[in-house]
Structure 1
Amino acid sequence: MDLLTNIDDLEEHQFEEEELAGYIEQFKLIDEKETGQIRTSSLQELFLAVKLKIPIPHVKIMIEKVEVLGHVYISCDTFLRLLWLRVKMNNRAAEVKEAFRYFDVEESGYMPVAQLRDIMMTYGEPLTEEELIDMMRFADFFGDGMVDYNNFVNMMVYH
């Protein structure tokens, strides 16, 4: 049984047929022994081969999540699932950045923590006071009362 949901079971699966074929071909190139699986340590190489630049720490997190379940190999289906989840995360990151830019009237890439708090209370999903305090603590990455939206997006989307 595969570690993650079979890629065919994803309703939101959006890879074009040609694109999907290319990803599968790249997987097969890494799978030199033709076992249908690759070592998790080959994920970074595979992501680079499909032209998806993922920071090494993010790939390490993916590997850790797979390996914590006792798996050191992943199937092509699992790779495609990870790839699709990453594409979705990148799209979500772009959406969050765009929303942040809407409120960043000075176009500085920063906003006061108090303003972000007000925005989250007014427009965001309902949060408990504890959740909001935690979010603001992480949002104020440098402790200067300002939120850098690149750091904020990384925190919200990739962690």
Structure 2
Amino acid sequence: MRVGFGYDVHRFAPERKLILCGVEIPYELGLLGHSDADVATHALIDALLGAAGLGDIGEHFPDSDKRYAGISSLELLSETMKKLAQKGFRLVNADLTIVAERPKIGPYRDKMRKTLASVLKCPEEAINIKGKTTEKMGFTGRKEGIAAYAVVLITHD
């Protein structure tokens, strides 16, 4: 068994959709990034790659590559899972924390879990998602962006 940890952050930007864990969240701002800027899925990808000893998201899906401009992070997650499967790894569970004052994560948690589980090909119960605030401190507290953390456990077949 191996453990991986991932972290990502994106700033808010106007005229962008807000996508978290592959789910579009109604909000007046989206996140700035080369892809769809799904900060939570990016943290998850980094955790998976780290657990498997395969580097990080920037190595595999660089923002300098036009193929990834505007791409759904769920596609990147699917590609990541293929890379893990080629090395004989499979996901046991994933725990994600999304840090934002707004929007609230709770109303979208079940849909997020279902969406990620379908891409990860695992039971929904293997995915946990939490929303946290920073009590109005720091860049997330000032509503300048969103941060996300992910921890995964993988096993080798």
Query: Relative to total residues, which structure has the larger helix share, 1 or 2?
Result: 1
TM > 0.5 fold call: no
TM-score, scaled to structure 2: 0.28
Instruction: Please say which structure displays the higher CA radius of gyration.
Output: 1
Please give the TM-score of this superposition, normalised by the length of structure 1.
Answer: 0.28
Greater strand share, 1 or 2? 2
